């Protein structure tokens, strides 16, 4: 078990200088991780890109959403080398806005696929445990010396549940025929509003996406 968690425990902590608080929007108050820190971490663990780790782009596409919004998505397979052998593919799907409706009209981004690629790499890195403490600050095990940071309020826990639900709905959007409906419904709600909805009910009973959907959309 110790060996299985070796990489995970070495890459789970994110230094303060690589963290940035997200202000505004549906995920305001959460933490963004500097993408170059992930590249540095991969390089420290496995070697330079192309030698110790690499990725291939398996698909690029755009999908139309509500109100003229268009999103760009990139699928990748990430590979890393251990003991002289390449790993199996670690898949990742990233997304970014291509055409977004803003207060001054529609805005088209010429960097959407670059940002979607960066997002896809972050998803693959997440599977290796890179930055795990940011995604799940309650995680601990007998090999961890530093205790987890406890939740300070029910609303914080509710917002975390809401963000997790958004991630799962986004995944459903990519994989299931009813995913578009779920995504359209969820993006109508500010994430803090969802947190407030959860807080006003029984927070302890909301542990999964289905629980959230049952509470918010009866």
pLDDT tens string 153-204: 444 555 565 666 666 665 655 555 555 565 556 555 555 555 555 555 554 5
Residue 158 in domain: yes
Model pTM above 0.75: no
Residue 77 in domain: no
Residue 161 in domain: yes
Mean pLDDT of 126-144: 68
- Of 91 and 144, the structure prediction assigns the larger pLDDT to 91
Residue 6 in domain: no
CA dihedral 124→169→140→12, nearest 10 degrees, is 30
Residue 207 in domain: yes
Tell me how many domains the chain contains: 1
Residue 180's pLDDT is 57
Identify the domain containing residue 165 by its residue range: 151-218
Residue 189 in domain: yes
Residue 100 in domain: no
Quick: pLDDT tens for 1-29. Answer: 468 888 999 998 888 888 877 665 555 55
Residue 131 in domain: no
Quick: pLDDT tens for 82-104. Answer: 999 999 999 999 999 898 877 77
Closest CA to 36 of 132, 163, 125: 125
């Amino acid at each position: 078990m110790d060996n299985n968690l070796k990489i995970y425990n070495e890459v789970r902590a994110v230094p303060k200088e690589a963290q940035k608080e997200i202000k505004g929007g549906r995920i305001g108050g959460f933490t963004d991780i500097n993408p170059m820190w992930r590249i540095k971490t991969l390089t420290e663990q496995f070697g330079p890109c192309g030698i110790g780790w690499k990725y291939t782009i398996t698909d690029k596409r755009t999908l139309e959403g509500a109100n003229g919004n268009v999103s760009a998505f990139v699928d990748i397979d990430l590979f890393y080398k251990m003991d002289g052998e390449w790993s199996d593919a670690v898949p990742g799907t990233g997304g970014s806005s291509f055409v977004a409706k803003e207060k001054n009209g529609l805005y088209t981004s010429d960097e959407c696929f670059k940002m979607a690629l960066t997002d896809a790499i972050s998803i693959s890195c997440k599977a290796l445990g890179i930055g795990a403490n940011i995604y799940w600050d309650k995680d601990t095990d007998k090999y961890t010396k530093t205790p987890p940071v406890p939740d300070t309020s029910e609303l914080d826990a509710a917002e975390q549940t809401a963000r997790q639900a958004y991630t799962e709905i986004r995944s459903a959007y990519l994989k299931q025929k009813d995913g578009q409906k779920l995504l359209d419904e969820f993006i109508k709600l500010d994430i803090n509003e969802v947190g407030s909805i959860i807080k006003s009910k029984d927070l302890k009973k909301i542990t999964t996406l289905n629980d959230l959907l049952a509470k918010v959309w009866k």
